[in-house]
Structure 1
Amino acid sequence: MSRSPGQQKSGGEPRRPGPTNTSTGWPLRLRQRHQPEDRITAWLTSLYPTAVPGSPWGALQPDRLAERHVGRVLDTDPGLADPLLDGADDTQAEQLLTVYSRAAAHHVFQGRLDSRLTDLCLRHHTALAPHIITTATRTDHPTPLTAALDTLTAHPDTPLDVLNALHDRLPRTSHRLATTAARLTHTITDRYRTLAARDPDAHLPALASALNNLSVRLGGVGRWAEGLAAVEETVTIRRTLTETNSDLFGSALQQSLDVAAWLDGLDP
């Protein structure tokens, strides 16, 4: 995957995991919450044999009939997904989001599952953030996931460190997430601009980094003139910083000059 130039970082006993292949495990759990877990595992393994002995979970393959059934269960019991996340590992959480997004894509649900998936992501955004981003780049129906990211970005109460963490998890380039990334970096830049106005010595370097990232993201969505304006502001700030500490800020200044040249070459 190609990289755009110049992006930077923004400033008891273990629980035994239960069945989480959501395309088959959720309806069963709904009906048989007290059935022994081993019997559930054996049943799923008989339905979906895998190459891993003793494990019912192999690669997650599309199953439109099962996804629609999962969608009906979630439509009936919207709170079912929350307890499934309790104790889920990374793979299981990503599978849950994948199957949920596939189920939500079925027209029979008329968009009802979209808003519920978005709300689920918002309720558990701390744990799900990396999986929201990863799943959004892979699923055929990323809209509920990008809506969650956009809501977090726009909410004034979302802490700056959460926004920075989201930014650092975004892929360098992604057609699906390009607009979301531009919005996020714009919000981060606005936050640092406010901080820098109050305390320039403490926050100007972070503002320069945010502007640099914003210029790259704007270039990625074809807003080259705006991106060039942002990086020119970055260059101005970094020139000033370099005058006081060339060893610390000199390479960052050169990086911004490279971004400016890149954007100038894109602008028709």
Structure 2
Amino acid sequence: PAAFLPGLADSLNNYAVRSDDAGRHHEALDAVTEAVGIRRHLVDTHPTAFLPDLADALNNLAVCLGHVERHDEALPAVAEAVRLYRTLSDTYPAAFLPGLADSLNNYAVRSDDAGRHHEALDAISEAVDIRRHLAGTDPDAHSPNLALSLNNLAVCLGHVGRYDEALSAIDEAVHLYRALSQVNPDAFLPPFAESLNNLSSFLRLLGRTAEATRAEREADRLRPPRSAWRRFRAGMSISLPTRLTHRDPRGGPLTEPSNRSFRDEESGDA
């Protein structure tokens, strides 16, 4: 049995991915919970080999717990993932800094779910710093995640009343998404439109109504068909039922990509 436990954990993780894609969040949670248990056992005997897999599964577990609104349990899971990725990235930064940034972004989302806005801001600020560094060396690979985290940073700054800084962050996200959408419109027009809506929110809050209206109109022109918009929101939204709108940028949620394993499965890299 020991020889096949790693494969079982991998297949359970993959089952969680597919269940989550299908909106079967409780099945996804059951599968990834079992994967975490197996990988934790494997780490007890071979920590060097299996710590990265455990960190990844814990990050996934936090996402699945968030999807079923078990936020109090999601936060400790992702906090453990952050600790593990931090240790791994200290030794092998090139291999594990992306995972650390992913888990920090996830920690920010989970902290925001729990109303811990200052913790969320600290985590997303670090994620932005890491992703900015990574994008500086490989922009094609890391600019999309930088844009996402900048959008989240703007929301977190808005939650603590730092609206001028929020505007600067969302403006940079819009700039990145504009460039990305020109290269790959199918992938990036939905988040580009979303970032324009958020830009409009902060401009309006700061009294710059004409600029806010222009951004909002551009977002409306870019908005994809309803089915594509639903798919985008299903993949990018946290479990809160509302999103940042022009009505109240102080109360909007963060956005997240599918977690790292889910994204890697989609691209064929896992």
TM-score normalised per structure 2 = 0.42
For the pair shown, the structure with the greater C-alpha radius of gyration is: 1
- By relative contact order (CA 8 Å, sep 6+), the higher-ranking structure is 1
TM-score normalised per structure 1 = 0.42
Structure (1/2) with the larger helix percentage: 2
